[in-house]
Structure 1
Amino acid sequence: MTGAVLGIVILRFGFDTGFIQLQNLAAYAFAVLLIMSLPYCLRRSGHVRVEVLSERLPAGYLPIADSVALLLFMVPVFGLLAWAWMPDLLYSWSIREGSVETGGLGGVFLVKTTIPLSGVFMILQGIALLLDPEDAGT
């Protein structure tokens, strides 16, 4: 991804030319990297917390709060994301959706596939954290 962006900048400002496929490649790589890093971030406890009350609560509060949040919020939200995205994904695959730019890189349907896939991975990661909470963040 870094090489693609560097190539875009060199072509644009050094040679006054553009390469749409390379721009699409950089955008696709960024999208896939971002969406597929969510389960990894959850596993490493890299998510952002707003801890206003937990400082005053007992030490056992945080694991219980995490378990409740995983069950009541994360699983339904990411399950809905995976389920609701399916009609758009199936349509995208049926037409083998490509770039919106003329002469752009094909394969947008592959990038769109990572959205429900990431939702499923988030659910699986949440279940793994519920089953082994001591291993979280290592």
Structure 2
Amino acid sequence: MIRGTTILWGILVLLVSTAMFLMKMQVQTLEDTLAKVNRATRQDREAIRVLEAEWAYLNTPVRLSEQSRRLLSMEPLDADTIVALADLPMRGKTGTMVARAPQTPAPGKPRPRSASADPQAELASLEGDQ
């Protein structure tokens, strides 16, 4: 006849082996999940490197300058195109443009700048003079 302790040890061995099998299956599932996450991370990093290289190419100053000339008809500013606010024509009360005589400085003297640092305030004061 089989002793009680032998049956107890047999049941204990079955329980431990079943628990170890279930633990092994959980570990394999977690390892598979980790491998998928690592693979996705590598793919995302590679995509980021490609996008950064493309961004660097698209933002080169030479390319942007060429695109602005071709698509927007933009040209670099010349020194002749920059004028003082006083040289711009002013609007009258009816909304029509009123021409002002340009203020020309004496030869060799720089053009005087207004004391106001705020162009909007300077424009409002010039409109109020009319």
TM-score range, shorter chain: under 0.3
TM-score (norm 2): 0.24
**Which is bigger in relative contact order (C-alpha 8 A, separation at least 6)?**
1
Higher gyration radius (CA): 2
